[in-house]
Amino acid sequence: MSQENVEILETLQEAFNRGRIDTILKYVHPEVEIRLALPAPDLPAQLLGHDGYADWFKTLHSAFRLFTFDTKEMIETDNQIVAVERWLAVGREGVEADVEPTHVYSFRDGLVIRVDGYQSKADGLKAVGLEE
């Protein structure tokens, strides 16, 4: 597994959980394209570029009392990481969502260039040509 890509993903996760969009954007390509596995209500399912990601991030963090994710498992192939994640969200009224989507992170020149979301690990693996 590319240690550099793993470290980037770990840094992104920590920055996300701490609400540090400035740190996140250092590791995300300016032309990043993100398709989320589980879009939040009233928020876009596809994010384009730094501005799209930053707007989504700020809205998400202001709409929820808590929104974090942890990576449970990483599987690398070429310049991609299939990440099985656990997302925890607590709304302003205390409603909680605890889900486990899978995202495929694609890297170019030491930055995340694309993120594709899937409902399951099997779907994420299939997308990169691996079968469970």
Name which of 77, 79, 80, 98 is nearest 89 in CA terms.
98
Number of domains in the chain: 1
User: What tens digit of pLDDT does each residue of 77-126 get?
Assistant: 889 999 999 999 998 889 898 999 999 999 999 999 999 999 999 999 99
Structure tokens at 38: 């589980």
CATH of the domain at 84: 3.10.450.50
Q: What is the extent of the structural domain holding 52?
A: 3-127
pTM of the full structure:
0.91
Residue 44 lies in a domain: yes
